[in-house]
Amino acid sequence: MDNSLIDLMIAMAPPPGDGQQGGGAQWISCLMPVAFLGIFYALLIRPQQKQQKEHEKLVSEIKSGDRVVAAGMVGTIITVKDDSVTLRTGESKIEVVRNSVERVITEDE
């Protein structure tokens, strides 16, 4: 058992040489994680940050009388407080957290 582990470690060792060979490959192997992080940021993190900023702007601009979709319910905003809004939906009034407003319904919709 011990011999097979040693054989495996020897097989994975770099080939003997003067150390000058493969210098370009070393740079590429160092840059690959940086490239993956850049791609990960560009494809996943940045779009999510942009969407979050747009939602914060939408929530900060809501006012009384706007028709909105909040927590899956469609209604009209009656009052706006610092951290909540009162929503009239059908015959009832509901107070929901301001961040639960998903979108404002325009007249086109």
Report how many helices (DSSP H) and strands (DSSP E) the chain contains, helices first. 3, 5
What type of residue is 27?
W
| pLDDT value at residue 79 | 96
Kindly report the backbone phi and psi dihedral angles of residue 52, in degrees, each rounded to the nearest multiple of 5, phi listed first.
-65, -40
| pLDDT value at residue 2 | 62
| pLDDT value at residue 12 | 66
| pLDDT value at residue 107 | 81
d(CA 85, CA 99): 9
Per the CB < 8 A criterion, the answer to whether 55 and 65 are in contact is no
| pLDDT value at residue 7 | 72
Q: Which domains does the chain have, with CATH numbers?
A: 27-105 (2.30.30.60)
d(CA 18, CA 104): 68
What residues in the chain have per-residue pLDDT under 50? none
| pLDDT value at residue 26 | 79
